[in-house]
Amino acid sequence: MIPASVGHQCPDCVREGQRGQRTTVTAFGSDARLGGQGYVTKALIGINILMLLAKVVFGGGAGSFFGGGWGGLLGGSTKVDEWGGMIGSQPGFACVNSSGARVMCQIDVIADGEGYRFVTSMFLHSGLLHLALNMWALWVVGRVIEQAIGPARFLSLYMVAGLGGSLSVYLFNGPGYTVGASGAIFGLFAALFILLRRVGRDSSGLLSLIVINIVFTFAVPGISIAGHLGGLFTGALAALGIAYAPQKNRTAIQYGSLGLLLVIIAGIALFRSASITPTA
């Protein structure tokens, strides 16, 4: 028997009563019960932790946790970072072609078939502090958004924002590699701001947090400005499609807008790769 407000009920009675209850739908068309446990947020945090552990096993031992900037708290570069980090490519490298003439060219590993870096770089971190800061932000913001828009929309939003950050690194950074979930998390900041505005909630505190993080991005050396701003911009676009989709055909429009962003990101990356002048 299951305790009830008055007496007890049998399990079959409880199940029958639950079938007759109406599903609570959020302002964005999601079943409110689906995202309440934060399973996608927890899974993303777990993947990021596992990737850092992979650095220890395959990349360089304790140096994966310590040995970098900020007194060693940012960790060190490993083979895993070099394998999976996002690498930008800028024109202007001087090369010599087969005929001996000097030409302008650039080395581009993405164009050479390493497009997987768009995804792997989102789950790699330089060390414990880097991971802890990003995962704390993901835990705080991710669960709120997941409950509001549902697990599937939340995962799609997270990935699109992260890929947007990777694309920005590809377009605007040099040949050094970049790692971290910060692009996706900046996208979540922008998304939560838009979702709060859509339902008429106070968003001033979150806006202050976004501004502080942007200032921090520009003020601290070594932080990927392109990755952060690219994720912020892409996350905002993705959230607009989710928050302001009309009620009629809302789900199709929401996923359609996310799919369109994904196609645009892939299209820009492919166009950029095709326009690269390879080294001689």
Active-site residue numbers? Answer: 182, 228
User: Are the beta carbons of 170 and 86 closer than 8 angstroms?
Assistant: yes
The one-letter code for the residue type at 11 is: P
The whole-angstrom separation of Cα 24 and Cα 19 is 13
Phi, psi of 10, rounded to the nearest 5 degrees: -75, 155
121 secondary structure, DSSP code: G
The whole-angstrom separation of Cα 221 and Cα 70 is 11
Give the torsion sign (CA, 269, 270, 273, 275): negative
- 68: nearest Cα among 127, 121, 25: 127
Which residues does 21 contact at the CB level (< 8 Å), separation at least 6?
none
The one-letter code for the residue type at 106 is: Q
- 122: nearest Cα among 241, 231, 270, 266: 231
Cα angle 52, 190, 37 (rounded to 5 degrees) comes to 60
The one-letter code for the residue type at 280 is: A
Helices (H) and strands (E) in the chain, counts: 11, 6
